Amino acid sequence: MTDVVADTAAAVAEAGARIIEPRKIASGFSWPECPRWHDGTFWFTDMYTATLKTLDADGNATVVVDATARRAHTDVPVTLGGFGWLPDGRLIVTSMHEKLVLVHGGNGPEDLEVLADVSSFAKAAINDMVVDADGRAYVTQLGFDLFAGDEPVPSPIIVVEPDGTASTADEVGPLLCANGITISADGTKVYTAEVMAQKLTVIDRAADGSLSNPRPFAACPFLPDGIGLDEDGGVWAAMPGSGYVARFTEDGMTDAIPLALENGVASACLLGGPDRSNLYLTVGVEVFDFEKSAREALGSLWVADVSHRGGATRP
């Protein structure tokens, strides 16, 4: 891992990237992930407690969605991943190992129903998700059992319509462990992190929501995970284990946020705050041992003040 950090630091220096120091704003979580900014509030998933939480200005977290009761009815882990909002205001979220997209009705944290079962399209866990202005969800998936140490295999993006109808983005084809996923402010581009290909990929999006023409956007010095988009066309990518979160354009790396590994690894990032110029970082310590991660609660949230804004990009 030391070599990875050194190699990434060398790539940052070679690119002449602007260095921005982050600050910790909250701690006491399992494996925090999938940061969101919605209606003036910061949201995130506390994955191994099967909850979605919000964070107030004083760093206090509140459980808004709680899927722990689902554990009594399934023999797979209940882990909440990517989430977003339908046009009618309801929240939808991936249950990764159940291979379901759930909808939260708003009548208490445990008010969850199945919107879509996508198990026929996913050999392993589903992952992150972004929801477009029409309520259509684009769901990424691991494509292989990461937690069992299986070899990576390509897999497609799953598309879930607002009525729960699901399909795959066949014009895009299979991607190599697509993870974080975003939509440009004008809705014409979708960006995703192909983790095992060590690159960011851009995809054309038509007015009807169909996807096509995937192509490389930027190479990353290490495995990209969760991503966020700014209104200037930059993609911010967390690179767990590298010690950095960085911003990329088609011309290369422009900004870098160092995070020493003794603090954990940054798994995802997103622009939020009143003018969406605060880059929130989710930082975890234990990703493979779910029980230990929840019990020790060493995960934390950080923020860095950057010179770009999220604007109307999604999520």
Q: Which helix (H) or strand (E) holds 178?
A: strand 178-183
Does the pLDDT value for residue 2 go beyond 80?
no
Paired residues of 139 in beta bridges: 129, 158
Q: Where are the domains of the chain?
A: 2-305
Strands in 1-121 per DSSP E: 18-19, 23-29, 32-38, 41-46, 51-55, 61-66, 80-85, 91-95, 100-104, 112-117
Burial 48-85 (b: 16+ CB within 10 A, else e): bbbbbbbbeeeeebeebbbbeebeeeeeebbbbbbbbb
* Interval 35-70: pLDDT, tens: 999 999 999 999 999 999 999 999 999 999 999 999
Tokens standing for residue 142: 């691991």
Chain centre to alpha carbon of residue 186:
20
Q: What is the pLDDT of residue 52?
A: 98
Q: What is the pLDDT of residue 151?
A: 83
pTM: 0.96
Q: Grade residue 145 by pLDDT with cuts at 50, 70 and 90.
A: confident
Domain 2-305 = CATH 2.120.10.30: yes
Cα–Cα distance for residue pair 53/297, rounded to 1 Å: 14
Q: What is the pLDDT of residue 108?
A: 93
Q: Grade residue 299 by pLDDT with cuts at 50, 70 and 90.
A: very high
Cα–Cα distance for residue pair 104/107, rounded to 1 Å: 8
